[in-house]
Amino acid sequence: MRSTLMSMLLVMSMILAACGGAAPAPTAPPAAQPEAPAQPEAPASGAVGVTPTDLTGISSEITDLPAVFNAEAARQYAGTTLRFYGDAIGLGSDMDKAMAAKFSEETGINVVVLPRPQDATEFYAQIQRFFQAQSTETDVFMMDVIWPGAFATHLYDVSDIFAAEAKLHYPNIVENNTVDGKLTALPWFGDFGMLFYRTDLLQEYGYNAPPTTWDELEEIAKTVQEGERAKGNPNFVGFVWQGAAYEGLTCNLLEWFYSQDAGTFLQDGTVTINNPQAVAALERAAGWVGSISPKGVVSYREEDARNVFQGGNAMFMRNWPYAYSAADTDDSPIKDKFDVAPLPVTAPGQPAGTVGGWQLAISNYSQNKGAAVEFVRYATSPQMQKWRALVGTFVPTIPIVSEDEEVIEAMPFLRNLSPVVRVTRPSRETGELYNEASTIIFQSANEALLGSTSAADALARAEQQLQRLIR
């Protein structure tokens, strides 16, 4: 079954990508032109520019990168210099540099990796300044999943060029990156929220499976918290998550809402944040504070939560995949004592994980768009995503990569999490006003969690403010 799908995709992408070479196709999407290879603009690239989906033989060595399959098409830009805003630190940065070097070596296009500011807000501000000045200094950007809406007008339209490639990725993320019908970026890696739990404690307290509903989670958390405190650890808590007034809370809230059938804040241009299920969901979360969650959770971000969990002081945690790798190291106090599961639901909701990944986008002001296209094609390809998954546990945005056995071995949590719906925040609905919308959302939720206002009042007020905003 899978191989059928793969060969279908392969064939499809071969047909489609043939005309998607470097030259921007000015007319209708290539999907409408099955005879595309006849197009004169598509130079020598031909079938070489195709993104292959054969994932065999990808190495887990950082020095052993997948071949640049589109090298031939890219070589027409040899000698140009691309500036790429990539990861700044650690393994991510080393991998970006390795990728740039490999690409340069095989295509003659010189790729300079510029380290991005670590903090997303700072990075956002810096990109803003670049675009404001229409700077030609940078060609390819890493782009947070919530930014395409805001930056769409400054990003190169790759709808036609990457029409085939886009079909490989999770549709939700591609849809998220498509603003007013224009594909602005290709997904590169995609985190999503998940439930971490302590396997040893689960067993010790007589449960045989992680919770699937929020009620179950509350019950287990309460039992274990009371038990561990009685055993002499006054600091033990049931459930930690991200409740501080920042973007992370919007992500948590979206998961609570979606998994309890309360919608996604804004849908089809209507504000839906204030509904009975939403009020119930926020009330539930506010009830956790000071009971199964510590009071301080209202000031927690990712690391505050992880340090509690990894220090052995929590039964459950909501966090991103990085916490899995971090808690799985040899010197971790909870190594082999935890696992992950989809976040719980309240019927008829579905298990949800907010998407928090990064895309690659090309600046409209770039003077090397052709070269940039080939670079992005290579960087976001299935081969590259598999390599990045194996070497750096970057979560793939391509289903066939997520389902690859070697990838699952490197990231065992992917197997448990296949039922999770990857939900995206409503950044497309709000366009350049997303940050305003999200600030309204997380500030209101934070107030309800702090207890300074009721969930119902907080959401009613948020509804009003959002309506005024998107009007």
Q: Is 466 helix (H, G, I), strand (E, B) or coil?
A: helix
> How are beta strands 140-144 and 81-86 bridged, if at all?
parallel
Residue numbers 353-382 binding another protein by CB under 8 A: none
* Total residues binding another protein (CB under 8 A): 81
**Phi, psi of 188, deg, nearest 5:** -115, -55
Nearer to another protein by Cβ, of 209 and 471: the residue is 471
CB of 290 to another protein, least distance (A): 9
Applying CB under 8 A, among 7, 121, 203, 367 the residue interacting with another protein is: 121
If one asks whether residue 460 binds another protein (CB under 8 A), the answer comes out as no
Q: Scan residues 380-439 and list those touching another protein (CB under 8 A).
A: 392-394, 432-433, 435-436, 439
Q: Give the nearer residue to another protein in terms of CB position, either 41 or 180.
A: 180
Contact 84, 113 (CB under 8 A): yes
**Residue of 365, 306, 360 whose CA lies nearest to 338:** 306
CB 385 within 8 A of CB 401: yes
Site for another protein in 299-318 (CB under 8 A): 299, 301-304, 306-308, 310-313
Query: Residue 208 or 329: which CB sits closer to another protein?
Result: 329
CB of 120 to another protein, least distance (A): 8
Among 72, 87, 139, 228, binds another protein (CB under 8 A): 87
Q: Does 443 interact with another protein (rule: CB under 8 A)?
A: yes
Q: Which residue has the tokens 């992680």?
A: 210
State the nearest-atom distance from the C-beta of 122 to another protein, in Å: 6
Helix pair angle (382-392, 90-107), 10° resolution: 140
What is the three-class DSSP state of 8?
A: helix
Stretch near another protein under the rule CB under 8 A, chosen from 63-71, 262-270, 328-336, 339-347: 328-336
Examine residue 470 and tell whether it contacts another protein (CB under 8 A). no
Q: For residue 26, how many other CB atoms are within 10 A of its CB?
A: 7
Taking CB under 8 A as the criterion, the residue among 101, 450, 456, 460 binding another protein is 450
- 251-310: which residues touch another protein (CB under 8 A)? 294-299, 301-304, 306-308, 310
Q: Stretches 99-107, 110-118, 169-177, 347-355: which one binds another protein (CB under 8 A)?
A: 110-118
Write out the binding residues for another protein, residues 198-237 only, by CB under 8 A.
233-235, 237
The sign of the CA dihedral 372, 391, 148, 124 is: negative
Question: What is the sign, positive or negative, of the torsion defined by CA atoms of 209, 210, 214, 220?
Answer: positive
Nearer residue to another protein within complex by CB, 57 or 333: 333
* 277, 176, 439, 243: CA torsion to nearest 10: 60
Element (H, E) at 198: strand 194-198
Tokens 């979606």 appear where?
A: 258
Token code pair at residue 78 = 């040899």
Hey, which residues between 138 and 157 contact another protein (CB under 8 A)? 150-151, 153-154
Closest alpha carbon to 60 in 339, 409, 400: 409
Shortest gap between Cβ of 255 and another protein (angstroms)?
A: 16
